[in-house]
Amino acid sequence: MKNLFSIEQLSKNEINEILQIATEFDLKYVTDEFKHKKLVLAFFETSTRTKLSFEIAAKNLGLQVIDFMPELSSIQKGESLIETLRTLEAMGVDVAVVRHREEGTAKMLSEQLDMSIINAGDGVNQHPSQALLDALTLKEVYDELEGFKITICGDILHSRVARSNIELLSKFNVNISLCAPKELLDNNFSSLNYYNNIDLAVENSDVIMCLRIQNERMKQMEVPNTSEYYEKYGFKKKHFEMNKNIYLMHPGPVNYGVDIENGLQNHNRSLINKQVRNGVLTRMAILKKILNGIEK
């Protein structure tokens, strides 16, 4: 595997291999195995968890990490994205972790550059490393990616996390449902089961994955009233009582009082902190698989 731009490109075996590699790491694992390799973080959209976890993952594996800041680069003078990355490639960069607002950016770059490209989010299209870390988190609970019911609740229409998770879990024997206002659903997923409120979803699911409302990607007319949204779709403490076996996930950042009730991140059936931890381990596994592929 030279690049990672979508979940669609991965087979079940490749997904399982990445997850297995991740289980062999812990947060204290440090090596200089790849000290001769260079990685650039090229983020054209904001990020905390993804960017920092890729940086920690790369440094844990010994890579030299360059934090490219578009706002201070020649992109501000009109240089194109592809020319910028060609320049970095000429400087000896081996891997670029790219987040960009335009769908398909990572795939386009992977087709035009010799360096490896990892998609850290391309618009509303894909976020493959998030889906992989979510899969690792689910495997820690259920051992295998099969036999459980998950409902993704929130802004499905604008969520690359939803798309990548649906693509990944659809490769396995997982029952996937959606819960969202009708205007925030994606017609591409019309074949999936649908709940029109979170109470129904909680009653009929093993896992609820909440998503934030992505106001920055919406037209004003699409933005729901937050108090009405929270009442109908927000995950609350009472839901842990309604279903004694329910698990809660959220890719972050969390809008407390909108997506979920404040304070639930640390509940014993919340997997949110495990998702954050597994972000580092999964991204270490992705980097190791790609770097081993480069060296063959």
4 lies in some domain:
no
Q: Is residue 106 packed enough to be buried (19+ CB in 10 Å), middle (13-18) or exposed (0-12)?
A: buried
67 plus 90 within the same structural domain: yes
| pLDDT value at residue 77 | 42
73 plus 198 within the same structural domain: no
96 plus 151 within the same structural domain: no
21 lies in some domain:
yes
134 lies in some domain:
yes
The distance from CA 153 to its chain's CA centroid, rounded to whole angstroms, is 15
**Is the distance from CB of 53 to CB of 61 less than 8 angstroms?**
no
CATH number of the domain that 232 lies in?
A: 3.40.50.1370
97 plus 121 within the same structural domain: yes
281 lies in some domain:
yes
98 plus 134 within the same structural domain: no
Nearest to 145 by CA among 44, 284, 7: 7
83 plus 135 within the same structural domain: no
257 plus 154 within the same structural domain: yes
47 lies in some domain:
yes
State which residues form the domain around 164.
Answer: 128-273
| pLDDT value at residue 111 | 96
| pLDDT value at residue 225 | 86
Q: How does pLDDT run along the chain (296 residues), one tens digit per residue?
A: 999 999 999 999 999 999 999 999 999 999 999 999 999 999 999 899 999 999 999 999 999 999 998 774 556 545 588 999 999 999 999 999 999 999 999 999 999 999 999 999 999 999 999 999 999 999 999 999 999 999 999 999 999 999 999 999 999 999 999 999 999 999 999 999 999 999 999 999 999 999 999 876 566 556 578 899 999 999 999 999 999 999 999 999 999 999 999 999 999 999 999 999 999 999 999 999 999 987 65
Strand ranges (DSSP E) for 123-245? 146-153, 173-179, 193-195, 207-210
238 plus 290 within the same structural domain: no
**Is the distance from CB of 236 to CB of 258 less than 8 angstroms?**
no
122 plus 240 within the same structural domain: no
140 plus 244 within the same structural domain: yes
261 lies in some domain:
yes
114 plus 138 within the same structural domain: no
DSSP structure string for 251-286: -S---BTTTB-TTGGGSTTB-HHHHHHHHHHHHHHH
Cα separation, 82 vs 110, in Å, equals 10
Task: Indicate the number of domains in the chain.
Answer: 2
Nearest to 43 by CA among 127, 122, 110, 161: 122
| pLDDT value at residue 72 | 46
118 plus 158 within the same structural domain: no
3 lies in some domain:
no
| pLDDT value at residue 218 | 62
256 lies in some domain:
yes
Give me the sign of the Cα torsion angle 170, 176, 179, 182. Answer: positive
| pLDDT value at residue 112 | 95
